[in-house]
Amino acid sequence: MLGTSGCAVVDAYSDSILANTADWSSGEITQQHVTDSAASISIRNWYAEPMTSMGGSIRPQSFAGQKLATGAGVIVISFGTNDASNGVSAGGYSEVAAQFYALDWLNRARAAGAGCVVWILGNPAAYADRPWAGNYRAYLEAFNGYLTGLGQNPTVAGGTLKLRLVDWGLTERQYPQLAKDQIHPTAAGAAFLGEDIKAKIKTCT
């Protein structure tokens, strides 16, 4: 969280939504907009791996189930989209398992010393052209609802954690020009997303 000096060291763990590769997203632009020298907000680690999920057997993120690096007061997490699409189309894990994995990420963030997690919610309206679009929507709506239901100060293993949500999916629906495929931000969308993340970080007091 923001320390007594007002500074915030930020680590990020993500799928392709925050990736630095042009074919997926514009994560470097997001980082530029999160960083704020006047507010002493700085990025330390940015682990964004395209096509990954929170856990399970289908392309888990490198840090799934592993200890997270200590030293960051705020951890940004962006998972849910691939978990939902895998869950309904490729034999991935259930909605209940997704909630378990999400709680595990929160527990490990707290164990690493973070006081605040900013979680980026995916877009349930994506994949509208797929035969499993309805199941995907239901899965991701349930997942996003689970995180929302935890509240802003959930109790996790090791104590209380501040949880702030960035509803990127809602932004995509309201401003479709900010996304290229209802999932990944354009350059303008990446800037918008970075500003939203920064605003949430500033509430981690």
* Residue-by-residue pLDDT tens, the chain, 205 positions: 454 345 799 999 999 999 998 789 999 999 999 999 999 999 999 999 999 999 999 999 999 999 999 999 999 999 999 999 999 999 999 999 999 999 999 999 999 999 999 999 999 999 999 999 999 999 999 999 999 999 999 999 989 999 999 999 999 999 999 999 999 999 999 999 999 999 999 999 7
Q: Which pLDDT score is estimated for 99? A: 97
161 in helix, strand or coil?
A: coil
Output the domain CATH number for residue 20.
Answer: 3.40.50.1110
Q: In this structure, is residue 72 part of a structural domain?
A: yes
Neighbours of 187 (CB within 10 A): 15
Task: Count Cα atoms within 13 angstroms, Cβ side, for 9.
Answer: 10
Among 173, 165, 205, 200, CA closest to 189: 173
pLDDT at 146: 98
Domain assignment present for residue 194? The answer is yes
- Determine, yes or no, domain membership for 40: yes
pTM of this structure: 0.96
Range of the domain at 81: 8-201
Q: What's the domain count of the chain?
A: 1
